[in-house]
């Protein structure tokens, strides 16, 4: 049995074999098949493929090339590695080896998590703006670099000419619709422009940048300026909003992606999205069977005060998913536009966007659908696309705080989005 969706030259399908599942990705004259272990009888073959992934099972090429292609990346604003995770999965399914050359983020703990999971060759915890020397003339469609950007410092000499793809998730708080104080004009927005500068400085062939959808409305036009800079350097650029739920994932989450390549043309993101598209899966699909390994600090439940315990009990005792007004804090009892706050997750629907507040009932709809508690960090990680084998730890003798876990997991890029963007730039290189 095969499930497949075709759009133009791109075809993605999954079939069951005697000893597991086979994923076939074809584009033009190229077809690649990889195998994954699966002992279920789930008729949802794509769902079974991703459930195997969530258990930590990596795909293995059916045909083993004698010299598999290696794709080297530098990851700017890397966080704990969510974007790299999706990109790495795409590379693996195409029979490539992902070599994480450099990961850069000012959060040293996040970089430590990245290194524990991606075998990164080098990490850096200073600002990306200190990494590259560049100057831009003009903005938006008329923008150009005044001179060829250069990496700052001799320690980067071995990187120049040896990076294939720049991955980047510039700070999004300045672009977020939740930031009413400095939205669109936040100085952090300019960090977006360091990405094309680094790409040119290291000689990368491709670029993947992700951010919130509202980034396109930035007051200084950072997206439009970046497109102009890359096109002036010979890149072909594609942009679009990828939605996790439209890719069959169990979370409603949208991110704006810019993908660019200069020796090949990226597959339009709308085409990739259609080829991967399937109905959204639900919360229980994602979190059922999650690792419950003893001693896993991601399973430690959030501490709840008496009021929140009472609110959770009310939801379960009354078989409700939205908290009644008279059960809310007094400031909400005259009505609220945030109905999901103190809400219980629907078991048969995708989750809302996982944020850094997923351990706090008052920050959104984060109460477990069948148990009287908020979802655990491990369950939130699964909803974000992190497999059970992903280690959120820097020092084994000192587990991270719940605040750190919430930030790392909630701010991460969901794996399916990085996977789709990865296919966009990697498939044309085959």
pLDDT, residue 265, reads 96
Phi, psi of 311 (to 5 degrees): -65, -40
3-state secondary structure of 116: helix
Cβ contact 146:136 at 8 Å: yes
**Tens digit of pLDDT for each residue in 386-411?**
999 999 988 878 889 999 999 999 99
Tokens of 131: 């990494």
Q: What is the pTM of this model?
A: 0.93
Phi, psi of 14 (to 5 degrees): -130, 135
Ordered by start, the domain boundaries in the chain are: 60-282+415-429
Tens-binned pLDDT, residue by residue, of the chain (430 aa): 445 444 458 999 999 998 899 999 999 888 999 999 998 889 999 999 999 999 999 999 987 666 669 999 999 999 999 999 999 999 999 999 999 999 999 999 999 999 999 989 999 999 999 999 999 999 999 999 999 999 999 999 999 999 999 999 999 655 444 434 433 344 556 899 999 999 999 999 999 999 999 999 998 999 999 999 999 999 999 999 999 999 999 999 999 999 999 999 999 999 999 999 999 999 999 999 888 888 889 998 899 999 999 999 999 999 999 999 889 888 776 666 678 899 999 999 999 999 999 999 999 999 999 999 999 999 999 999 999 999 998 887 888 999 999 999 999 999 999 999 999 999 999 8
Tokens of 124: 């850096």
Go through the chain and tell me how many residues it has. 430
Residues forming the active site: 172
Q: CA 35, CA 93: separation in Å to the nearest integer?
A: 9
Q: Which CATH superfamily is domain 60-282+415-429 in?
A: Vaccinia Virus protein VP39 (3.40.50.150)
- What dihedral angle (degrees, nearest 10) is formed by the CA atoms of 131, 133, 139, 143? -120
How many Å is the Cα radius of gyration of the chain?
A: 22
């Amino acid at each position: 049995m095969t499930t497949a969706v075709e759009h133009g030259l791109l075809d993605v399908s999954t079939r069951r074999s005697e000893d597991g599942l086979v994923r076939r990705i074809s584009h033009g004259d190229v077809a690649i098949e990889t195998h994954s272990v699966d002992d279920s009888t789930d008729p949802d073959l794509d769902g079974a493929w991703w459930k195997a992934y969530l258990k930590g099972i990596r795909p293995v090429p059916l045909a083993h090339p004698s010299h598999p292609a290696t794709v080297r990346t530098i990851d700017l604003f890397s966080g704990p590695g969510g974007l790299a995770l999706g990109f790495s999965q795409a590379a693996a399914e195409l029979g490539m080896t992902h070599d994480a050359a450099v990961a850069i983020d000012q959060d040293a703990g996040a970089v430590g998590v990245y290194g524990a999971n991606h075998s990164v060759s080098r990490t850096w915890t200073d600002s990306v703006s200190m990494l590259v020397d560049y100057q831009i003339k003009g903005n938006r469609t008329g923008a150009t670099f005044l001179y060829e950007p250069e990496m700052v410092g001799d320690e980067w000499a071995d990187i120049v000419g040896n990076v294939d793809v720049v991955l980047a998730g510039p700070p999004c708080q300045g672009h977020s619709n939740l930031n009413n104080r400095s939205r669109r004009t936040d100085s952090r927005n300019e960090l977006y422009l360091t990405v094309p500068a680094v790409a040119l400085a290291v000689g990368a062939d491709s670029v993947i940048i992700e951010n919130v959808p509202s980034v396109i409305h930035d007051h200084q036009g950072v997206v439009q300026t970046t497109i102009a800079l890359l096109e002036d350097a010979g890149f072909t650029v594609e942009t679009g909003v990828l939605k996790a739920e439209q890719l069959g994932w169990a979370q409603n989450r949208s991110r704006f992606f810019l993908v660019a390549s200069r020796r090949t043309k990226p597959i339009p993101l709308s085409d990739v999205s259609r080829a991967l598209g399937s109905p959204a899966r639900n919360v229980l699909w994602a979190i059922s069977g999650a690792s419950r390994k003893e001693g896993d600090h991601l399973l430690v439940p959030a501490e709840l005060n008496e009021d929140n315990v009472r609110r959770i009990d009310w939801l379960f005792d009354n078989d409700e998913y939205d908290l009644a007004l008279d059960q809310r804090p007094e400031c909400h009892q005259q009505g609220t536009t945030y109905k999901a706050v103190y809400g219980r997750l629907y078991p048969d629907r995708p989750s809302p966007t996982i944020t850094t507040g997923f351990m706090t009932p008052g920050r959104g709809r984060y109460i477990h659908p069948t148990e009287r508690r908020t979802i655990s960090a491990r369950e939130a990680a699964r909803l974000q696309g992190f497999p059970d084998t992903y280690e959120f730890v820097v020092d084994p003798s000192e587990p991270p705080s719940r605040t750190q876990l919430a930030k790392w997991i909630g701010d991460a890029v969901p794996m399916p989005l990085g996977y789709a963007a990865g296919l966009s730039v990697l498939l044309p290189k085959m």
